[in-house]
Structure formats: structure tokens, C-alpha cells
Amino acid sequence: MSLNGDDDEKKFRKKIRKPSFKYARQFSDTLIGAHMDGSNRSKHKGVSKAGMNKMACETYPNFESPLTQVYRDCLFKNEVFYAKNIGFRTKDHIISLVESEKKALCPIDTKRWILSNGITSLAYGHWRIDAYKSMIKAGMSPELAEKRAMSVKLKPEIESLIEEHIA
């Protein structure tokens, strides 16, 4: 879902797809990217595999499998690892190499609701999280509320609706 000027993009698409412009349909995405200054594209890029291996070998040079040791330390010792990436960038038709340092591994998963055992997780917005929160508001202990929220079942009619929707 794009939040950066959807209306402007729709207006521009209508404008360039007029019959007077011969190849508008083929080049519409390119033209929109140029016109909208690329505001809809995500520029976030991950860490390359080569960057991860280099970081692991520099951190643990004497180990047989340094990447495995990096993963162990991240999970069990709660260490955060950073890796350097080298990439090409262009500005005003001038190509240059840019070195950036990014967070490669982090023990904290901020995109999921992690349960007290540290292993099981739920997606944010899951109905069990709402059940857990309502039990906490009712004055139940967090341990008992989590146990009950994980063991509670949906009503049969709701389950059948979900199964019909999925099928």
C-alpha cells in the first residue's frame, strides 16, 4: 500500500494515457517514477550475504564456522551485530561507491508479539493478543492470562466462516 501521493499518481496516469501519447501504457510506470520523484519506491535494502560472511570472519577469525557462532551469540548472549555494505550510487550521472554500516542481526524481533517462553510469537493484530489484553484488564495475572489466551478456541461458527473464507 502506498501512502505517498496516490491521488497525484492516479491523476498523472490519466494525463499520460491520453491517445495523443503513443507509448503511454508501456512507459507509464517509468514516467510516473520520474514525475513523482520515486516517492513510492522503498529504498531500504538488506545486508548482502558477502557482507554477513565478512563480518562473521572478522568477528570470529579462529572458528571453523564463524557465521554459526554469530547466530549463537545473537540468540543466546543478546548481542547486536553490524555489517558493512559497499554499493553503487549515482547522482547527476556520476557513479560512486558508497560504504554503509547496517544492523545485520538483532535478538529482538519488533515485528511480532513474543510470548513469555521467548520462542512462540504471534503477529500483531492476532485475536489472541486482544483476548490476552482483555484478561489483563480484568485483573488476571499475566502468566495465567497468556496461558488461557493461547488455549482458548474460537466459536465453531466463526471457525467455519474462516475456513470458508480461506477455501
Are the beta carbons of 136 and 142 closer than 8 angstroms? yes
Residue 40 in any domain: the answer is no
Question: Is residue 100 located within the same domain as residue 58?
Answer: yes
Residue 99 in any domain: the answer is yes
Question: Is residue 62 located within the same domain as residue 97?
Answer: yes
**For residue 66, which of 137, 129, 74 has the smallest C-alpha distance?**
74
**For residue 84, which of 45, 48, 60 has the smallest C-alpha distance?**
48
Residue 43 in any domain: the answer is no
Are the beta carbons of 18 and 31 closer than 8 angstroms? no
What are the residues whose beta carbons fall under 8 Å from the beta carbon of 105, sequence distance 6 or more?
Answer: 70, 71, 74, 80, 81
Residue 123 in any domain: the answer is yes
Domain count, the chain: 3
Residue 120 in any domain: the answer is yes
Task: Say how many C-beta atoms besides its own lie within 10 A of residue 56's C-beta.
Answer: 22
Task: Say how many C-beta atoms besides its own lie within 10 A of residue 71's C-beta.
Answer: 14
For the chain, list residues with pLDDT below 70.
1-45, 167
| 3-class DSSP assignment, residue 3 | coil
Question: Is residue 100 located within the same domain as residue 120?
Answer: no
Question: Is residue 116 located within the same domain as residue 162?
Answer: yes
**Domain, as residue range, for 98:** 49-105
Question: Is residue 100 located within the same domain as residue 116?
Answer: no
Residue 1 in any domain: the answer is no
